[in-house]
């Protein structure tokens, strides 16, 4: 969440920054007003507490001096002040809770270099690699769901029978390639990232730390009996690894990676890109994440994006990188790049990774800090994360791009060490 001191001291600047995200100023100004009121009430409460303490000392001295009647009068005054202190304390606490609830809803401010724009149509394309729309043959223009069904490697019908709509099931070589993609993604990032296998169920606090709650509750699966949530991405538990901890400056950046299943309700997505593997309720993904000092974050953002791009090159997939404009930035995002692959059978650019820098927005919620080598006190870390490889759309793009004239699919060579000898997906 945002630093209340910025809202307190730089209100109009914060309003102007959030306006670039299309965020109305109402909640920010309300937060400012509640903060003013809360601090005033807290000051009154503290003043009353001081007066009660002074009276307590007076009463003791009066008793020692034998001034019992005066002591009782002052004691009565202390009781009146005690009632007032309790009312002020309750009001201050209520205002503090209102303020926190507001701050949890107010989005992060965008980086100054984020391009202006209203929605995804305004996202500039930074670079394109390996794309020639005229180079794809007719046999590559077949949607992956048709190829997957013909080869017996994608079984949507039985997945729906088992779990309902928007669930899918990979079989035979399709399942093998899915697993291979995850292991390959872990191996190729193991040079710099510590592997973690986090829990797939997390607490409300953990989901709140990354910004999914309270705003995106409708998109998450909630196990109400245990008050646990299915993770939408391994970003959620990885971010909270250091929750409430303080690290040494020399330890940063800290880098983590994790394979996990991911669960998303995809509320409101009915009828939109729901065929095949384009949009599903459950999928596999490898996530990379870092804690950094503020000055380290820009280079890390570029490095992590570059890792995703090089993976797409190694898989033989045409891809492009776009920068997310202000109006399309997510709740917690300070700056983001999307990596999209081209799927010739769908004739679509498919987002396969969003690499994002969150400044200290998530760390403030989670209480993740570091101790600078120079100076006193502690500072909040900056968090970054990205999908090193999200299986469904990468799988779809591979099946379409590497489909051969005879209807079989060539498995990218980088995956061969992980596929138990399968180099071609065939009936």
Q: What is the pLDDT of residues 119-177, one digit of tens each?
A: 999 999 999 999 999 999 999 999 999 999 999 999 999 999 999 999 999 999 999 99
10 Å Cβ neighbour count for 405?
9
Q: Is the pLDDT assigned to residue 70 strictly greater than 90?
A: no
pLDDT tens digits, one per residue of 297-311: 999 999 999 999 999
Residues 87 and 138 placed together within one structural domain of the fold: no
Domain boundary among 105, 132, 161: 105
The number of folded domains in the chain is 2
Residue 110 within a domain: no
Residues 94 and 155 placed together within one structural domain of the fold: no
Beta-bridge partners for 357:
335, 384
Residue 150 within a domain: yes
Q: What CATH number is attached to the domain comprising 265? A: 3.30.930.10
Residues 375 and 261 placed together within one structural domain of the fold: yes
Residue 112 within a domain: no
Residues 130 and 230 placed together within one structural domain of the fold: yes
Q: What CATH number is attached to the domain comprising 96? A: 1.10.287
pLDDT tens digits, one per residue of 188-235: 999 999 999 999 999 999 999 998 888 889 999 999 999 999 999 999
Domain boundary among 105, 138, 163: 105
Mean pLDDT of the chain: 95
pLDDT tens digits, one per residue of 258-314: 999 999 998 655 556 778 999 999 999 999 999 999 999 999 999 999 999 999 999
Whether 181 contacts 173, CB under 8 Å: no
Radius of gyration of the chain (CA): 28
Residues 78 and 202 placed together within one structural domain of the fold: no
Residues 341 and 364 placed together within one structural domain of the fold: yes
Torsion angles phi and psi, residue 192, rounded to 5: -130, -15
Question: Rounded to two decimals, what is the model's pTM?
Answer: 0.93
CA dist., res. 49 & res. 91, Å (int):
15
Residue 169 within a domain: yes
Residues 68 and 137 placed together within one structural domain of the fold: no
Residues 72 and 154 placed together within one structural domain of the fold: no
- With tokens 């997310």, the residue in question is 324
**pLDDT at position 268:** 58
Domain boundary among 56, 72, 105: 105
CA dist., res. 212 & res. 227, Å (int):
15
Torsion angles phi and psi, residue 24, rounded to 5: -60, 155
Domain of 415, in residue numbers: 120-425
Beta-bridge partners for 246:
369
Q: Is 265 helix (H, G, I), strand (E, B) or coil?
A: coil
Q: Is the pLDDT assigned to residue 402 strictly greater than 60?
A: yes
Residues 60 and 142 placed together within one structural domain of the fold: no
């Amino acid at each position: 969440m945002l630093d209340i001191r910025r809202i307190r001291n730089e209100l109009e600047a914060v309003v102007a920054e959030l306006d670039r995200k299309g965020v109305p100023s109402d909640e920010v100004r309300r937060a400012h007003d509640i903060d003013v009121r809360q601090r005033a009430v807290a000051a009154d409460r503290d003043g009353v507490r001081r007066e009660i303490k002074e009276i307590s000392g007076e009463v003791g001295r009066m008793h020692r001096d034998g001034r019992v009647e005066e002591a009782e009068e002052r004691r009565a005054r202390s009781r009146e002040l005690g009632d007032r202190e309790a009312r002020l304390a309750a009001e201050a606490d209520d205002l503090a809770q209102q303020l926190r609830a507001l701050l949890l809803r107010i989005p992060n401010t965008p980086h100054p270099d984020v391009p202006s724009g209203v929605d995804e149509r305004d996202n500039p394309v930074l670079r394109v690699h390996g794309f020639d729309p005229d180079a794809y043959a007719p046999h590559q223009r077949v949607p992956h769901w048709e190829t997957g069904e013909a080869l017996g490697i994608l079984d949507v019908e039985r997945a729906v029978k088992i779990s309902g709509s928007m669930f899918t099931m990979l079989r035979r070589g399709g399942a093998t390639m899915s697993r291979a993609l995850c292991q390959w993604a872990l191996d190729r990032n193991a040079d710099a990232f510590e592997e973690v296998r986090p829990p797939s169920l997390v607490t409300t606090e953990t989901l709140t730390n990354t910004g999914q709650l309270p705003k995106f509750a409708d998109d998450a699966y909630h196990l109400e009996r245990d008050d646990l949530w299915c993770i939408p991405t391994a970003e959620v538990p990885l971010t909270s690894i250091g929750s409430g901890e303080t690290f040494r400056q020399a330890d940063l950046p800290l880098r983590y990676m994790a394979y996990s299943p991911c669960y998303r309700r995809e509320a409101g997505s009915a009828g939109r890109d729901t065929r095949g593997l384009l949009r599903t309720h459950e999928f596999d993904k490898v996530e990379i994440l870092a804690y950094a000092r503020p000055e380290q974050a820009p280079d890390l953002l570029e490095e992590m994006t570059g890792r995703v791009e090089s993976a797409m090159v190694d898989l033989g997939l045409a891809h492009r990188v776009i920068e997310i404009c202000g109006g399309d930035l997510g709740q917690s995002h300070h700056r983001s790049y999307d990596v999209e692959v081209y799927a010739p059978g769908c004739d679509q650019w498919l987002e396969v990774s969003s690499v994002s820098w969150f400044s200290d927005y998530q760390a403030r919620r989670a209480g993740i800090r570091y101790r600078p080598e120079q100076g006193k006190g502690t500072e909040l870390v900056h968090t970054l994360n990205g999908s090193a490889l999200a299986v469904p759309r990468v799988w779809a793009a591979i099946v379409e791009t590497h489909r051969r004239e005879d209807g079989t699919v060539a498995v990218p060579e980088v995956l061969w060490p992980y596929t138990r000898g399968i180099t071609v997906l065939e009936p």
